[in-house]
């Protein structure tokens, strides 16, 4: 039994010496996070909020783009306010309106296997007249 007591004491001493430097590293990591937030690009803003996915690029979305309306895939739990804030920060435009659409899953059959597509949500964002989002511009 004496052998086990010695091992516990040794591990406690090692744990105490390891714990002190870890606290200092956490403080350093927080300061670097603040610096990283200052220099953000479009992709990092979207990842940080986890709200907006890819833009929907279809014929219908290009027709809407001519009327200052842009369509995006959005997270299932995203709200209109979140989408508005993220689009304004990412693309430096003024958002007037946001419409949310929940796209229901369609039934699909591949050979003898039947299943459904995934349910997803998309947002139609109306931008102030005179402003545009460059992703939807055609050459």
Say if CB 92 and CB 42 are below 8 A apart: no
Chain centroid to Cα 71, Å, comes to: 16
Question: Residue 90 has which token pair?
Answer: 């990412």
What region does 74 belong to: left with phi over 0, alpha with psi -120 to 50, or beta?
beta
Q: Can you name the residues that pair with 70 across neighbouring β-strands?
A: 125
Q: Which of 53, 59, 78 has the alpha carbon at shortest distance from 136?
A: 59
Tokens, residue 69:
């309306």
Q: What is the dihedral of CA 106, 65, 96, 83, to 10 degrees?
A: 40
SS3 112: coil
Of 26-30, 47-51, 70-74, 124-128, where does mean pLDDT reach its minimum? 26-30
| Residue 54 φ/ψ, nearest 5 degrees | -80, 150
pTM above 0.85, yes or no: no
Distance CA 10, CA 85 (A): 53
pLDDT tens per residue, range 85-117: 999 988 899 999 999 999 999 999 998 999 999
Q: Highest mean pLDDT range out of 26-40, 105-119, 125-139?
A: 105-119
């Amino acid at each position: 039994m004496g052998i086990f007591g010695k091992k516990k004491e040794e591990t406690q001493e090692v744990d105490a010496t390891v714990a002190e430097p870890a606290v200092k590293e956490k403080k350093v990591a927080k300061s670097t996070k603040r610096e990283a937030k200052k220099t953000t690009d479009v992709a990092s803003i979207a990842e940080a909020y986890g709200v907006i996915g890819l833009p929907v690029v279809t014929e219908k979305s290009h027709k809407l783009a001519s009327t200052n309306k842009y369509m995006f895939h959005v997270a299932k739990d995203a709200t209109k306010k979140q989408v508005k804030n993220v689009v304004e920060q990412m693309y430096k435009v003024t958002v007037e309106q946001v419409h949310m659409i929940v796209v229901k899953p369609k039934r699909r059959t591949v050979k003898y296997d039947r299943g459904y597509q995934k349910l997803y949500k998309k947002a139609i964002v109306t931008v102030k007249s005179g402003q545009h989002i460059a992703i939807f511009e055609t050459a």
